Structure 1
Amino acid sequence: MNRVRCLVFNAALGPLDYRVPQGVAVEYGSVVVAPLGPRQIIGVVWEEDRLPTDPVPEAKLRPILEVLPVPPIRPELRRLIEWTADYYCASLASVARMVIASGGALRGPASVTEYRLTGGMPERMTPMRERAMGALEGEQATIRELAELADVSDGVLRGLVNQGVLEPVLVDCDRPYPRADAGHAAVDLNPGQQAVAATLVEAVEARSFAPYLLDGVTGSGKTETYFEAVAAALRQGRQVLVLLPEIALTEAFLRRFEDRFGAAPIVWHSSLKSTERRRAWRAIASGEAQVVVGARSALFLPYASLGLIVVDEAHEISFKQDDGVRYNARDVAVMRARFERIPVVLASATPALESLQMAESGIYQKLDLPSRYGGAQLPEIRIVDLTEDKPEHGRWLAPPLTRELFARIERGEQSLLFLNRRGYAPLTLCRNCGYRFQCGNCSAWLVEHRFSRRLACHHCGHEEKPPTNCPECGELDCLVACGPGVERIADEVAEILPDARVAVATSDTLNTPEKAAAFVAQAEAGAIDVIVGTQLVTKGFHFPELTLVGVVDADLGLEGGDLRAAERTYQQVAQVAGRAGRGAKPGTVLIQTRHPESPVIEALAAGDRDAFYAAETEARRHAGAPPFGRWAAIIVSSEDEAEARDAARAIGGTQPRVKDIAILGPAPAPMALLRGRYRYRLLVNARRSAQVQDVIRDWLARLDLPRGVRVSVDVDPYSFV
């Protein structure tokens, strides 16, 4: 090629043509450095017919500067980038940028200097040095990464280097990973698991696209079953991707994987250090990486020879990204498997209604594991009607649940209390004047976190210290915490069971893989009596001594305008109920509710998942909602409220009149102010046959909006705030 078309990582520019210098070898997918004015940019060489642009005369072409020493992006991944950009109404550049997720990996083999504690002491101890030394015990990373970890300046750490307290270590960035062995440990599967595993193994060996919905009750051994398919891919020398919804689940999964295969898989998530990210990316691109376990972003990594994709807990809404490219990793995983011509497994005890419908229509093959492994029984589920069994004044746990907690403590068994609300209380107000603590950047109340002594916004991250007096009227000792969060429930447990060992499990307390691993180790060792947690504890954990689950407020998820509220509530409560009785001892689940007649609560009490899904399916069909219709949200925002409102009205006023498409709005978003930007929303409801993305693109392209206005499109939205 003497000229190439590049997809450059700048969404505002579009594709650009360049000249290829004589003697330089370039192919489609090559990652290159090219000039742009006085700057240099990174781009990917693309097929001209798939990336049309206005032709540029040969004489005006500038030469590319360098072909970077990484494998070209394979055509299968380029097709996935195109599909994702088209389906989710995103720019090609923003999707392609997710593939090049480590800038350092593009520069070829390298070594880096990291630092670790020597055990020595500085000549003069300061509070900052003491803090750093305490935080960095057992850590090794670059100075910048260690400074972030210890929350000190680079200068503090460089002082410790000069004092000999930190020593440099030269690290090979591309050192090989331990190899997984498909036959490391024998696995004893029951007949049902063996049948499912045989189907998956056959699919891997066939090397063709095959989507499976692995529908197994909690504790049925879904992981051990799909591990057999992982082993089949390893024997073929192919790579495997396993997607998990939460970083907190990673450590427990890694241990199970290592027990089965003799070596840990490669991990990919947002908490990786830059050197770890670089090493993993290069191993994946070269084909050295065998199995990758990661969050949704791992889906776009440049695998050299992918043989299997597994999406564990595939119903989880955390697979849907709510900013940037608003993709659903569950659905994109199926498309990547299709382009790669490999099997994909969606595993869940409570599948998404969309996945069940795909299985019903024959597009996915459904594999069932209807019983728990090893003879364990599903727990008994009982409803606690809070209108009859009322908690004591100032408390949130009803007498039946309290009695069951006492019984578990006496028997030396563990309990889990579930409330999907972080912090101590969702609202703090002044009892004297009624002032409410609200975030200045968002239309949301500040949540009190009593453990860390802060008021925090869970939307933008703003934090402030709780004052001693009301900011409005100045009254002392007048601030009241309203409603419960998990910290308040933990305090209540400590009051009624003063000798109980209580652990709070949320994204605040288990925010690193190391903390999650320590929590799991404590629970498995019997060092915790009562776990109080949010949705983080509803999935993945296996504690054989846990025999009681209490759902503190089953109605919480049914509030608000979420169009999937019933399905999501059923999934969360069913998943957390599945943590009980996973060992030899029977389990019990108590669900506290003020609406026992609700279809969701009745289905949970009866253990009749099929009846709930059937009713929900008919309701969706009647409303033209997914999977029978299509939704897309258009979110308009600006730092100026009037500008946002006028832009939303302009968009609404030019809405197209298209058959099979209805457009609702604009209206102020439920979260009308978010991160300092005022927001309006429109909702597009379309039949499955409508080309809704083309309609939205053409509609928005005709508008000339002020520069301060942002317009984003969310296809298949899960968040309606």
Structure 2
Amino acid sequence: MAGGKRTRGGVTTGPVAAAPRVRVLLPLPLGNAYDYRVPEGLALTPGAFVVVPLGGRETIGVVWDGEPDPGLSENRLRNVQAVLDAPPMTAVLRRFVDWVAAYTLSPPGAVLRMAMSAPSALEPPAPQAGWRRAAAPPAGARTTPMRRRVLEVLADGAARAGGELAEAAGVAPAVLRGMADAGLIEPALMPRRRLFAAPDPDHPGPALGPEQREAADALRAAVARHGFSTTLLTGVTGSGKTEVYFEAIAECLRRGRQALVLLPEIALSAQWLDRFRARFGVAPALWHSELTSRTRRETWRAVAEGAAPVLVGARSALFLPYPDLGLIVVDEEHETAFKQEEGVVYHARDMAVVRARLSEAACVLASATPSLESATNAQTGRYATVHLPARHGGAEMPAVEAVDLRRTPPERGRFLSPALVAAVGETLDRGEQAMLFLNRRGYAPMTLCRTCGHRLRCPNCTAWLVEHRAQRRLQCHHCGHVEPIPEACPECGSAHSTVPIGPGVERVLEEARALWPEARVLVMASDTIPGPAAAAAAAKAIQHREVDLIIGTQIVAKGWHFPHLTLVGVVDADLGLAGGDLRAAERTVQLLHQVAGRAGREERPGRVLLQTFAPEHPVMQALVHGDLEAFMEAEADGRRPGHWPPFGRLAALIVSSEDERAADRTARDLGLAAPGGEGVEVLGPAPAPLAILRGRHRRRLLLKTRRDIAVQPLLEDWLDKVEVPGNVRVQVDVDPVGFL
């Protein structure tokens, strides 16, 4: 168990009441807080972190709001054992935990666990010992030139760490030991170092154009009001949205409040961090899954103490203990990466708006391609809007063309059409950079036997195995299962009969090397760019023109700025349109528009080629004509009559079990107990598109209601009617964004 400095009576904001018991919420998937007895002499207020017994062990919890159960007999109560010396959890964060739990139908303890994601941070950092000049050095103590240099460094009276002191004075550590023995210096506790330098809101940044200044003024005013507001910040790719919301961060800093920026891929945001340093003079605090446990502990504590003025993080950063949050920015707010699909299922964009409301803070949702939900909220006046219509610095939007693969198909066995091959060749000949985009990792998405037609499938999931030729392996991108490429078909036994079907980025790389052998090629995919260091190295190589051709998956759409990139070729623009996903067209137009926006961001004009079998599709037409607004209006018109989001509410129940019959029985029982009435419809049960995932059989039911009907009471009543066996799991997904 992570411990901390334990104190009795260490909470100073006044006791809750004279009653000798409190409610304590534990970071466990439990539905309610537990009552505990408060020992004599110990004063507790809501938010205090305490150590309590649970079963045969100790655990850390939080004193929660509300009255203990007066009907609980005294002999069933156990004592709070200690209070931890940590900043109490704020009332805002406690309310946020309760709100998220109620909205997502999750146990409050499971949500609390996300807010206690660094339990070791509840222990104050150990004091560090150093040296200072002795207050009363003995008369006649011998001094040498080296000792005098040490005393000169310590002349300001401040304590210094031994290593730092020895280095500053140019002496060996033995000299310090001798001076201590002689009484010239004495041990002293070091002041705690500041982990994060304070960003300077008045540090000179890039010059803003007239439209950017007007937009920045609007966001600064929203922050200055010190109240809740939500603003949708839109603008074409390259219009300077980041620099605009930086001015909102600067205003937040001037008013002494903390700012949070949520990014969909914080580990891949090297260029964003460079821009932040250029504007504010220092780096922000970071929060993402790749931080070391020590950095997480130090960052969590710094946030709680108000010593991290700006934090940039992934969706989990919403649950950090900010004492006074004044601004939340959700960059690329349309990204589905903000939806957490496991554990507590929530959408960070929507929860950011809630946290801002509870904190009386401003919220900014930024995107070149806003979600239909956010666009609708802006149109109805729930959100304010700020729009940047043109690229910054006079750069023009790229010209977008559709390449009809029915008329100009690639050569047999190839995947790049003659038009795209010619365009890449011309771009490279001019000394400019080109990008080929395909949202598929690996070499091929499917492998089959040419003899019997058997398709190699994951043993744990309803998914094809993806070939990764460079590693000589087949991999499931859903559960991570890996196996070698077989020498013979596992079904019919034919030797060397398996063949790859379709392209992945590795196969495009193979084709590119054959076409342009002299080109310097970089593949940008999650397999090749695994974290911050690799992302920074890739961005640096591209900016320094050490790369001619970039081949990438969706991570190349995440806000990169490559000044010399003038051509983007989309290998398969139709890829995201397959299947019955409600948001397939919306997501495809957003992704392709973001990818297209990488081209021509400086003085040289950009060009985008979309390889498609359906150039007449509304998505392709919207991209070619640059009319995303008309596309989104048509998308809204298609959803409004059927009360599909954002004009109605959805909630999914995902039933899963390792026992297929148990999953079917529970799904059937839920179907029979489904709610009804005007404006309420239940679809299913039906096998999920991924009917088996990680060895569990999955069935789905979908609740659809009018916008004015709250789904949570319906779900709670529905679930109460059905007894779920212990070997079956029912996951609730309110406002689903995916349907796999």
Answer yes or no: is the 8 Å Cα contact 1:580–1:588 preserved in 2.
Answer: yes
Please give the TM-score of this superposition, normalised by the length of structure 2: 0.87
Secondary structure at the residue paired with 1:78?
Answer: helix
Aligned counterparts of 1:558 and 1:623: Cα–Cα separation in 2: 20
Aligned to 1:532: 551
Query: Given that residues 205 and 280 in structure 2 are in contact (C-alpha distance below 8 angstroms), is that contact kept between their aligned partners in structure 1?
Result: no
- The reply on whether 1:452 has 2:468 as its aligned counterpart is no
SS state at 1:521 partner: helix
Deviation at 1:53, TM superposition (A): 5.7
Quick one: which amino acid aligns to residue 310 of structure 1? V
* Structure 1 letter corresponding to 2:375: L
Q: Which residue of structure 2 lines up, in the alignment, with residue 706 of structure 1? A: 725
Amino acid at match of 1:302: P
Match of 1:44 among 42, 55, 62: 62
| Equivalent in the alignment of 1:549 | 568
Return the alpha-carbon distance in structure 1 between the equivalents of residues 710 and 229 of structure 2.
Answer: 26
Letter in 1 for 2:657: S
**1:427 paired to 2:446:** yes
Question: Of 396, 403, 413, which residue of structure 2 is paired with 1:377?
Answer: 396
In the TM superposition, structure 1's runs of 4+ consecutive aligned residues that sit over 6 Å from their partners are: 171-174
Give the deviation of 1:186 after TM superposition: 3.4
Of 639, 650, 654, the match for 2:669: 650
Alignment of 1:237-316 (within 5 A): 237-316=256-335
Q: CA deviation at 1:660?
A: 1.5
Deviations 1:93-126 (A, max 9, x none): 11111000112111221389xxxxxxxxxxxxxx
- Name the aligned partner's letter for residue 92 of structure 1: P
Helix, strand or coil: the match of 1:367? strand
Q: Distance in 1 between matches of 2:77 and 2:640?
A: 55
For the residues of structure 2 that align with 1:428 and 1:399, how far apart are their CA atoms?
Answer: 26
Distance in 2, matches of 1:80 and 1:660, equals: 30
Q: How far, CA to CA, are the matches of 1:624 and 1:336 in structure 2?
A: 27
CA distance in 1, matches of 2:30, 2:69: 14
Alpha-carbon deviation of 1:75?
Answer: 1.1
Q: Decide whether aligned partners of structure 1 residues 173 and 597 sit closer, same or farther in structure 2, where only a CA change above 3 A counts.
A: farther
Q: Say which SS state the counterpart of residue 451 (structure 1) adopts.
A: helix
Distance 1:388 1:54, change over 3 A: farther
* 582-591 or 240-249: bigger deviation: 240-249
Q: Which residue of 1 aligns with 2:24?
A: 6
2:487 corresponds to: 468
Query: 472-481 vs 351-360, which deviates more?
Result: 472-481
Asked if the contact 1:239/1:303 (under 8 Å) is kept, the reply is yes
CA distance in 2, matches of 1:46, 1:474: 63
- Mapping of 1:381-392 within 5 angstroms? 381-392=400-411
- Aligned twin of 2:80: 64
* Distance in 1, Cα, partners of 2:500 & 2:266: 31
The Cα shift of 1:472 comes to 2.6
Alignment CA distance shift 1:174-1:709 (3 Å) = farther
Say if 1:172 and 1:641 are closer, same or farther in 2 by CA, change over 3 A.
Answer: farther
Distance (Å, rounded) in 1 between the aligned partners of 2:376 and 2:108: 30
Whether 2:598 is the aligned partner of 1:579: answer yes
Summarize the alignment of residues 470-509 of structure 1 with structure 2, pairs less than 5 Å apart.
470-509=489-528
Partners of 1:609 and 1:507 lie apart in 2 by 28
One-letter amino acid of the counterpart of residue 101, structure 2: A
Q: Residues 385 and 594 of structure 1 are in contact (CA less than 8 Å); yes or no, is this contact kept in structure 2? A: yes
SS at the partner of 2:340? coil
The 1-side partners of 2:438 and 2:99 are apart by 38
Offset of 1:42 from its aligned partner?
Answer: 1.9
Shift of 1:261: 0.9
AA partner of residue 511 (structure 1): P
- Per the normalisation by structure 1, the TM-score is 0.90
Distance (whole Å) between structure 2 residues aligned to residue 220 and residue 488 of structure 1: 34
Q: Secondary structure at the match of 2:608?
A: strand
Instruction: Using the TM superposition, give the Cα deviation of residue 643 of structure 1 relative to its aligned residue in structure 2, in angstroms.
Output: 0.7
SS of alignment partner, residue 656 of structure 2: strand
CA–CA distance in 2 between the matches of 1:66 and 1:619? 58
Structure 2 Cα separation of the partners of residues 246 and 542 of structure 1: 15
Unpaired stretches in structure 2, ≥5 consecutive residues: 1-16, 129-189
* Root-mean-square deviation over aligned CA pairs: 1.6
1:131 — aligned with what?
Answer: none
Q: How far off its partner does 1:569 sit?
A: 0.5
1:24 aligns with 2:42: yes
Give the secondary structure class of the aligned counterpart of 1:622: coil
Candidates 215, 223, 234, aligned match of 2:242: 223
Contact 2:27–2:111 (8 Å) recurs in 1? no
- 1:599 aligns with 618
Q: Is 1:75–2:94 an aligned residue pair?
A: no
Question: Conserved in 1, the CA contact under 8 Å of 2:266 and 2:312?
Answer: no
The aligned residue for residue 139 of structure 1 is none
Inter-partner Cα distance in structure 1 for 2:228 and 2:59: 36
Gaps of 5+ in 1: 113-170
Secondary structure in 1 aligned to 2:403? strand
Deviations 1:249-278 (A, max 9, x none): 322211111111111001100111100110
Contact in 2 for aligned 1:110/1:173 (Cα 8 Å):
no
Residue 255 of structure 2 aligns with which residue? 236
Over 3 Å counting, the alpha-carbon distance change for 1:30 and 1:442 in structure 2 is same
Distance 1:577 1:207, change over 3 A: same
Tell me, in whole angstroms, the C-alpha distance in 1 between the residues paired with 2:91 and 2:569: 50
Distance in 1 separating the partners of 2:46 and 2:343: 26
Q: Distance in 1 between matches of 2:475 and 2:195?
A: 42
The one-letter code of the counterpart of 1:62 is R
Moved more, 77-86 or 572-581: 77-86
Superposed CA deviations along residues 446-494 of structure 1, whole A, max 9, x for unmatched, are 1011122221101001111212222233322211000001111111111
Distance (whole Å) between structure 1 residues aligned to residue 473 and residue 121 of structure 2 = 39
- Measured against aligned partners, the alpha-carbon deviations of 1:7-45 in whole angstroms (never above 9, x if no partner) come to 122224632101111222311111211111211122211
TM-fit CA distance, 1:173: 9.8
Equivalent-residue separation in structure 1 for 2:523 and 2:669 (angstroms): 48
The number of aligned residues is 661
Q: Are 1:515 and 2:531 matched, yes or no?
A: no
Write the deviation string for residues 189-242 of structure 1: whole angstroms up to 9, x where unpaired: 001000111111111121111100001110000011111111111122211100
Q: 1:707 to 1:172 in 2, by over 3 A?
A: farther
State whether residues 265 and 558 of structure 2, in contact with CA within 8 Å, keep that contact through their aligned partners in structure 1: no
Question: Identity over aligned residues, as a percent?
Answer: 54
How far apart, CA to CA, are the structure 2 residues paired with 1:60 and 1:470? 64
Once the two structures are superposed, residues 378-407 of structure 1 have per-residue CA deviations (whole angstroms, 9 ceiling, x without a partner) of 000111000001100001111111000000
Alpha-carbon shift at residue 177 of structure 1 (Å): 1.9
The corresponding residue for 1:98 is 114
Corresponding residue for 2:156?
A: none
Aligned counterparts of 1:172 and 1:538: Cα–Cα separation in 2: 44
Q: Contact conserved, 1:247 with 1:512, CA < 8 A, in 2?
A: no
Q: What is the Cα deviation at residue 61 of structure 1?
A: 1.9
- Indicate yes or no: 2:351 matched with 1:332: yes
Which residue number in structure 2 is paired with residue 159 of structure 1?
Answer: none
